[in-house]
Structure 1
């Protein structure tokens, strides 16, 4: 009898190496430098690579960012890579480097633990996978959060002490340079500041000044493009008068770090003659008065915005915002524009946010004339009489007049009738013939084959064959009596390939080069190419064979019955 012995594998099974990454962060709050960050990155890179059982997965480092997690790009990238399975272990120096918000810390660590990623905190000697890891994290993270709050309060105290001494917190301002004690004028930039103020008092908008500065090649303080937002900030900054208003805003929460305007919650400090002025106080006050006047006028104060008598007066009854004017050409060959008014919320965010109905401008003008008792709409009379028009529901406009009266007016849209002119209808018909919508019978030949007798486009007909396949023919419409036999589609492809000098038929080449095919007769086709040339091709349809004998008819009938029976059974099974 044969004897069989099992030979055990002798090759050792190598353990799977863990993919290890590290996270490092330095904060500006404690004065840490870039050297500190590079030292952390260098340390962790060497430390991970000295462990043979580990596979280096990188070091993620954020520079000069607070301990909250919202703005740390590298920290976010670390979490994304953990989710993608690229990391098994995360090393970090301490809990405060990872997060100072207890809630954020626990949520992040729990999420990583759920996906099998371990976090090790070096200073606290905590492993997130250990039994008491979460308890220790909760306690120590609370201390880290309190440390962050304490540090924030100390920083705030130092800043407010400087305010009391008349020292600003921000030292970067266009037109000046800080010399350690006070602001010193930068002559070239001061000229631009004066130009901005002068333009505004001449009636120019911030957008117009933005275009002018771009044409002049003027750059902002950071070397970028001078935006209209920066221009508006310069117009409102009192420091250009040689005075300073300190503590205009404050950080309310040390976790979110969001700046809140100081509306009386904290004291403010007005420092007079703190530095040399670029703009005199009288000019600055004139600019502030003009800003207030333009704010009251709204969009009408900005000449770069096209306005009409309806601007800011048509209000949405659903969301309360103003309607906006938009228009489109009635045809490509016409200069006429068809205007409609639509809710801005609907226009920006879609129907899901606001379902208010659009109103054609002609309908709006007609409704206004009817309410005001005018034969024709008059813009000046409308502005004089009407305070606002509220679009209520689908068919009602509510007019609020300056005398306090409220008048409802029903309306019905004629937009389709106004837009659907004979010219637009003809243009649409021509486009549809050239660009038919996709369906089962639409091919590259659709709209391109026409009959010389009835001048109609040939249509695609499909009929089943005994073999189960489908046969496609192109024929004139049924109501015509042209006497043309159907063009078999495969034959049509062969002839087209011959005309285009290609080995196999290609729909893309056909659409690109062939403009139309005219069926001249039962033996002749005329190809009109898009380059202007014409090519005539002969074709011959297959005539019916001599009449079938009774025996052949019987055999064919049996074949058809068998084919139909098989198809019926298959459909029944399905």
Structure 2
């Protein structure tokens, strides 16, 4: 008999194409650089698309962006996001300096991509991140690229310094009140009037906050149409440019890699150029304003007359946070409470190690006792006390001007002080009449009483299949958890029952409170409504029927299969033997026994 062999059909293997993208970047804005970026995009698009083993994944290009960090490189960040989603297998780039000039950023990015199996190729240096010596070469060459960036920054700084020495500003900066015409600042009349008004308000004794509110009320805005705020006004008051002179190098870039700008406080030389443009404010006025700013800064909050200050303002210090305590007022139970708390608590995310607050009246009393006075005197306090530290809660540490340190307890009794005998009696009468009226209470609070243990019912919320929103309010005896067997009442069933009994078309809270004294719960169905006119009405409470959803055919089939799995022949024999034993033990009346 001939031998027959079956030959299976073969499916040709489809070669998986590599998804390839390219990254390009230029850092300077010029026609030549724009042409360079366009050339890079065109070159890589053609290079990727003509390779039969590659699938074009796009070209990502950042224009006029420095490579020293990745913060503002939107296309670079979009490329990395696509790498995370698996859209890219290979990244092509012209050189290491185009990819990143920061050694740390470069190595972290390349290592992360390598861990995900994504290859980065640098054409100029002929480096592949997946090769054995790729990371070593990258570290060396990336350091060169970073130092090159630092060298470029130093050259730019040197050129800027030379311009400053000649009295030439570094670019045409924007300043409110002026505009640039050619290379000269020219006042804008409308804006110049606002600048003069800011200075005049300050000379008149107004605070920056008062000027801010004044401008907001009149609809006066900045050049960008924004509201004038304290920081804007401060910049105008401290900018010497308004005197017709220029102060160059007010700020400088501390590090060429991080690009962090720093205010020049003597680290770098500054250049004062006189009479460069028309002044808006004369030099004498400007200097007087600077002296007044220094004086008000020394006084602190006391210099700002728009604030509600007193003799304690700026005197109470927190040794843990290094800030002053702030004055606060709160109305509680009709009484105005004054207290002081650490200023760090006003800041977002601020936490004070001491905690708590200081009652104003108690602090005045403590100060009076420390100074040995019969009545508190502000002048003596300011003369004798240098400052008060709060080392721990409810403790004051008085630092006297003669060098003495006196520690005094200052407990917070604000709640106790406002809980007067009159207020206590008023509250007690109200609670006896209406219950505790706690949060979440209703017209039934304190009105439903248990006949068995004579306790009030309390409100609770629990899930329910019959309720529209899946939850329902129940009223149960407060001793339910301690064994009281009185059944609970559902509020959605109780409300229509009460409304029907009292003859209401719709349930009215106010009418219920006015008419009903209380509801007595006798059993799970029997209730008694005791009215304020002395009459008692017996009603039958019927709880809503439980809602059982019909089972689907799939559910029924599932339950049948479970029963078949569990009801095995061994289980049947076991149950049969158990029933025989029960009949034998109980005799003829085995069905009647429980």
**TM-score, normalised to structure 1's length?**
0.74
CA contact (8 A) 1:106 1:137 kept: yes
* In structure 1, C-alpha distance between the alignment counterparts of 2:435 and 2:348, rounded to whole Å: 31
Match of 2:122 in 1: 121
Q: Extract unaligned runs of 5+ from structure 1.
A: 438-443, 462-471, 479-483, 502-508, 529-535, 543-550, 560-574
| Higher mean C-alpha deviation, range 190-199 or range 448-457 | 448-457
Match of 1:374 in 2: 373
1:91-113 CA-to-partner distances (Å, cap 9, x unmatched) read 43432232212122112211222
Q: CA deviation at 1:168?
A: 0.9
1:416-452 CA-to-partner distances (Å, cap 9, x unmatched) read 4235557489499779644359xxxxxx998375249
Distance 1:476 1:320, change over 3 A: closer
Match of 2:167 in 1: 166
* In structure 1, C-alpha distance between the alignment counterparts of 2:35 and 2:190, rounded to whole Å: 36
Match of 1:435 in 2: 439
Distance 1:245 1:70, change over 3 A: same
Distance 1:538 1:241, change over 3 A: same
1:315-371 CA-to-partner distances (Å, cap 9, x unmatched) read 11323321223333213xx2x332322223355476866234432222211111110
Match of 1:65 in 2: 65
1:462-518 CA-to-partner distances (Å, cap 9, x unmatched) read xxxxxxxxxx9845879xxxxx9945546x6545467799xxxxxxx9999998885
1:352-396 CA-to-partner distances (Å, cap 9, x unmatched) read 662344322222111111101223333343223211001123353
Q: CA deviation at 1:177?
A: 1.9
CA contact (8 A) 1:448 1:515 kept: no
* In structure 2, C-alpha distance between the alignment counterparts of 1:197 and 1:325, rounded to whole Å: 30
CA contact (8 A) 1:102 1:145 kept: yes
* In structure 1, C-alpha distance between the alignment counterparts of 2:254 and 2:101, rounded to whole Å: 17
Match of 2:354 in 1: 355
Q: CA deviation at 1:116?
A: 2.9
Q: CA deviation at 1:154?
A: 1.7
Q: Which secondary structure does the structure 1 equivalent of 2:389 belong to?
A: strand
Q: Which secondary structure does the structure 2 equivalent of 1:71 belong to?
A: coil
Query: CA RMSD of the aligned region, Å?
Result: 4.6
**TM-score, normalised to structure 2's length?**
0.71
Q: CA deviation at 1:163?
A: 0.8
* In structure 1, C-alpha distance between the alignment counterparts of 2:459 and 2:270, rounded to whole Å: 82
Q: Which secondary structure does the structure 1 equivalent of 2:390 belong to?
A: strand
Q: Which secondary structure does the structure 2 equivalent of 1:124 belong to?
A: coil
Q: CA deviation at 1:153?
A: 1.5
Distance 1:195 1:349, change over 3 A: closer
Q: CA deviation at 1:302?
A: 2.3
Q: CA deviation at 1:46?
A: 7.1
Whether 1:322 aligns to 2:324 is: yes
CA contact (8 A) 2:100 2:106 kept: yes
CA contact (8 A) 1:166 1:271 kept: yes
Q: Which secondary structure does the structure 2 equivalent of 1:72 belong to?
A: coil
Q: CA deviation at 1:399?
A: 0.9
CA contact (8 A) 1:346 1:354 kept: no
Match of 2:200 in 1: 198
Match of 1:504 in 2: none
Matches within 5 A, 1:223-238: 223-238=225-240
CA contact (8 A) 1:487 1:541 kept: no
* In structure 1, C-alpha distance between the alignment counterparts of 2:458 and 2:203, rounded to whole Å: 70
Q: Which secondary structure does the structure 2 equivalent of 1:273 belong to?
A: coil
* In structure 1, C-alpha distance between the alignment counterparts of 2:151 and 2:315, rounded to whole Å: 52
Distance 1:137 1:381, change over 3 A: same
* In structure 2, C-alpha distance between the alignment counterparts of 1:99 and 1:402, rounded to whole Å: 60
| Higher mean C-alpha deviation, range 78-87 or range 167-176 | 78-87
* In structure 1, C-alpha distance between the alignment counterparts of 2:192 and 2:229, rounded to whole Å: 17
Match of 2:519 in 1: 519
Q: Which has the larger radius of gyration?
A: 2
Q: CA deviation at 1:166?
A: 0.8
Match of 1:450 in 2: 448
1:39-71 CA-to-partner distances (Å, cap 9, x unmatched) read 766766776677676666665554433222253
Aligned length: 509
Distance 1:380 1:54, change over 3 A: farther
CA contact (8 A) 2:450 2:477 kept: no
Match of 1:98 in 2: 99
Q: Extract unaligned runs of 5+ from structure 2.
A: 461-473, 501-505, 532-536, 544-585
Matches within 5 A, 1:513-552: 518-519=518-519, 523=526, 538-539=539-540
Distance 1:294 1:520, change over 3 A: same
Distance 1:460 1:384, change over 3 A: closer
Match of 1:209 in 2: 211
CA contact (8 A) 1:514 1:527 kept: no
Whether 1:384 aligns to 2:383 is: yes
